[in-house]
Amino acid sequence: MDVNEHVGSGAEPDQTSADSQRESDAQLRGVIDEYMSTFQPEPEDTAGVRERILQLVRDDLYRGPSTSLQTQQGHPFSISTASVRSIVRNAVDAVDGIRARSVDVEPAGDPEGSAATVSLTVAMRAGISFASTAEAIRRSVSAEVLAELGIPAARIDINAEDVYVD
């Protein structure tokens, strides 16, 4: 079989060329399929790569941005922003039908850092009434931030930006 279509950058094949291409593809199919099957990742391959990736990511996270806060006793400290967001995210996810998306926590209060302002966006399950759920989110975040961080949330802004279907 002879493939003799004109090959140029962006050349559109005519019908004869398209037919001959399909024929040549069919002939090659056996070899291609065999080639594809020889390169299957083993579970241990992916496990090894996965572990290395997550370790590198963890190391990168340790060097990430921090949020400056202060305990009620007046002791200042900084905490990885990722850790603070994680506390808020867990509180939001705990509310049925809600998934936390973007979380922002800023130091607030006087002295600054003795309280926190929380802004978050969420995705909500289709059919959920946002007005009543927002109250549940507010309660959950407020309680969790106080219990896990030990610092009160002075303000919680919630923005629903998407709907999901389970």
Q: 58-87 mask for another protein (x: CB under 8 A)?
A: xxxxxxxxx-xxxxxxxxxxxxxxxx-xxx
d(CA 29, CA 164): 40
Contacts of 159 (CB under 8 A, 6+ apart): 119, 120, 121, 122
Distance in Å, CB of 164 to another protein, minimum: 6
CA nearest neighbour of 90 among 60, 67, 120: 120
132 binds another protein (CB under 8 A): no
44 binds another protein (CB under 8 A): no
d(CA 120, CA 142): 13
* Identified binder of another protein from the candidate list 19, 54, 96, 115, rule CB under 8 A: 54
Q: Site for another protein (CB under 8 A): how many residues?
A: 97
* Identified binder of another protein from the candidate list 15, 36, 96, 132, rule CB under 8 A: 36
* Identified binder of another protein from the candidate list 8, 15, 44, 132, rule CB under 8 A: 8
Using the minimum distance from each CB to another protein, give the nearer residue, 16 or 21.
21
Distance in Å, CB of 136 to another protein, minimum: 12
* Identified binder of another protein from the candidate list 14, 16, 19, 45, rule CB under 8 A: 45
Burial of 145 (0-12, 13-18, 19+ CB in 10 A): buried
* Identified binder of another protein from the candidate list 94, 97, 106, 142, rule CB under 8 A: 142
Contacts of 3 (CB under 8 A, 6+ apart): 17, 20, 21, 24
d(CA 108, CA 153): 9
